Structure 1
Amino acid sequence: MTQSVGETELGHTPEMVPQESGAEIRGRSLWQIALRRLRRDKAAMFGVGLVLFFVLLALLRPLLDLIAGVDPFTFDASSVTSAGLPIGPIGGISAHHWLGVEPSTGRDLMARLLYGVATSLIVSVVSAIVAVGVGVVTGIAAGYFGGWVDSLISRIVDVLLGFPQLLFLIALTPLIANRLNSFGIDSTSPFWRGLILVMVISVFGWPYFTRVIRGQVLSLREREFVDAARTVGASGGHILFRQILPNLWAPIIVFTSLIIPVYITVEASLAYLGVGFVTPTASLGVILQDAVSWSTVVPSYFFLPGLVLFLIVLGFNIFGDGLRDALDPRSSH
């Protein structure tokens, strides 16, 4: 059977356009088709909106704090009672404290949440970049070169995936922090604690992506266009960077978008368990850890950071799912 007119090899049939004299027929690249599909996916665009909303809040945090006249570290004893309860309705909401205050300290909750969103996003994004970067390099090396390189990388991946990761994350974080303290470095500072978290999260994150990339490269290196490049005498570098790597961008981007919300949850979980960021540094996990003891008397203090964490993770997950469908050539959307 012959291929129908207007149907592409990806199985996507573009919209019919009126034929006009001298009209130029323009093809669409895979990325143009994917962007078009993404724009048509209402759920994915909702996820994009949530992600952009929280990213903008994190970027504009200093300006918003300046407008509201608050900061995440200043104690305000006049906003809480002698028992530490916020003065005012719904956790102390007022013209000065737009989302209320933190019990016992009176610190502004909105400023703490904005700071926490920025902290969680920075750690998760940097961890994802490191894990994906190492995974891309090792996955390409294992899949393309094969032999002892593939065996060595695969065994390392098997060993790391065999560890109970959450337990090792909980154990390694204070271990590294104590080692830094022995060298006179304050491991509780936001920079060093963030660096520790990026290290331990990415160490256990890259093996998953190595397996994904390895499988893709094993398939790509046997494709006709790679054989054709070898036939005309293309170098190994040309085949890797001009033939194979461009075909890996779709899984790289999709995996990154889906792994970021996982790392946001991991960072919050470690802080909640007391081995992540520590007060006065604000992160969503630190706020939730402190909010548990006040949840029965000030439920808004527990509800607001929980809602923020839920919406961030939801936004990234919906966006990642939509991006995966948009980049799938077999999708009928």
Structure 2
Amino acid sequence: MSDTAARPVTETFAVRERKQSELVFRRFLRHRAAVTSLLLFVLVVLFAYVGPLLWKYSYTDITDDLSRSPSLTHPFGTDLIGHDTMAQVMRGTQQSLKIALAIALIGTVLGALWGAIAGLYRGRLDFLMMRIVDIVLTLPTIAVAAAVAAQGVGGSQWWSIAVILGALTWPYVSRVVRGVVLSLREQEFIEAARALGAGNPRIILRHLLPNALGAIIVVATLTIATGILGEAALSFLGVGVQAPDTSLGLLVSINRDAVNTRPWLFYFPGLFIILIALTINFVGDGLRDAFDPKQTRVRQ
């Protein structure tokens, strides 16, 4: 027997450290429900923003087809006046998505800064800021938003609805961010930043918030779903988006009496509200799992 054959065969494994973004992306792809929901959400966005450019009817057009059920000419049917329901759902989805994204942006920015400041400074400032958060959390969001919107603030334009709801959703973000900052503030890199002369504002903006980005992205995603439902509720109550413009909540509101006679007018916009809320929630679940690392090295 030759020396080569007598040698034991040993397997070697190369261990390569991957970037955090690559690990997050791979974990997200393994979450099938989140990936499927993301694809569906992208299709909804394309339907809302690209669809009107390709569809032959505008949401303001009045056709000769009055109260028609869904057909090839009008896939979502028409209303009593002759509006094409699919064109109106496209416009309503546009407005609802725009409001929900603005709510998420306002609530996330305000809540992240508030939570980071409270978590870093601690002490009396933290106590005072968290008590303010507790007070806002006790307020019934829809009731307060409806009362403010009913006063005509901003003329019930989409941005006024976004500001009102965004100003009531930031406490949820602040609690999450504060919890992350409380653990980050004890890390060695924060002590190193202080030793190099970094002040608290720089530590918050350059060190704490970037390292809390995973939690912030997850809670911001879930805030979009909350914004969709909040806008729909306000429009359903008649204090949200007003005609001649439209939103998904407004379409459900004005057609609620047609459930038994012309159900397509009610169920199509309602279906899109449910679809957007569910897909965003599943995407949020996928992001939450993806940003929860179990290991930093993988075998190649």
Aligned pair partner of 1:79 in 60, 65, 68: 65
Q: Percent identity over the alignment? A: 35
4+ aligned runs moved over 4 Å, structure 1: 231-235
Q: After TM superposition, give the deviation of residue 231 of structure 1 in Å.
A: 4.2
Question: CA separation in 2, counterparts of 1:305 and 1:218?
Answer: 42
Q: After TM superposition, give the deviation of residue 284 of structure 1 in Å.
A: 0.6
Deviates more, 1:47-56 or 1:225-234: 225-234
1:1-333 equivalence runs, <5 A: 26-65=16-55, 69-76=56-63, 78-80=64-66, 86-87=67-68, 91-95=69-73, 97-102=74-79, 104-175=80-151, 177=152, 187=155, 193-231=157-195, 233-330=197-294
1:36-93, Cα deviation, whole Å (9 max, x unpaired): 011122111101111111111222133123xxx21101222x212xxxxx24xxx152
Q: After TM superposition, give the deviation of residue 226 of structure 1 in Å.
A: 2.1
Unaligned runs of 5+ in 2: 1-10
Structure 1 residue aligned with 2:4? none
When the two structures are aligned, how many residues end up with a matched partner? Answer: 287
**Which TM-score applies when normalising by structure 2?**
0.88
SS at match of 2:212: helix
1:235-289, Cα deviation, whole Å (9 max, x unpaired): 4455334432221100010011111011101101111111111222121111111
1:105-152, Cα deviation, whole Å (9 max, x unpaired): 110111000001110000000111011000111111111122343233
**Which TM-score applies when normalising by structure 1?**
0.80
Preserved CA contact (<8 Å) 2:89 2:248: yes
SS at match of 1:26: strand
Question: CA separation in 2, counterparts of 1:307 and 1:236?
Answer: 47
Q: Which amino acid aligns with 2:78?
A: V
Question: CA separation in 2, counterparts of 1:264 and 1:54?
Answer: 13
Preserved CA contact (<8 Å) 2:103 2:223: no
Preserved CA contact (<8 Å) 2:92 2:248: yes
Q: After TM superposition, give the deviation of residue 219 of structure 1 in Å.
A: 1.3
| 1:331–1:312 Cα change, 3 Å | farther
Higher relative contact order (CA 8 A, sep 6+): 2
| 1:331–1:261 Cα change, 3 Å | farther
Question: CA separation in 2, counterparts of 1:134 and 1:256?
Answer: 11
1:179-210, Cα deviation, whole Å (9 max, x unpaired): 55xxxxxx2xxxx5212211210111111111
Question: CA separation in 1, counterparts of 2:201 and 2:103?
Answer: 28
Question: CA separation in 2, counterparts of 1:240 and 1:267?
Answer: 32
Question: CA separation in 2, counterparts of 1:288 and 1:325?
Answer: 34
Preserved CA contact (<8 Å) 1:79 1:92: no
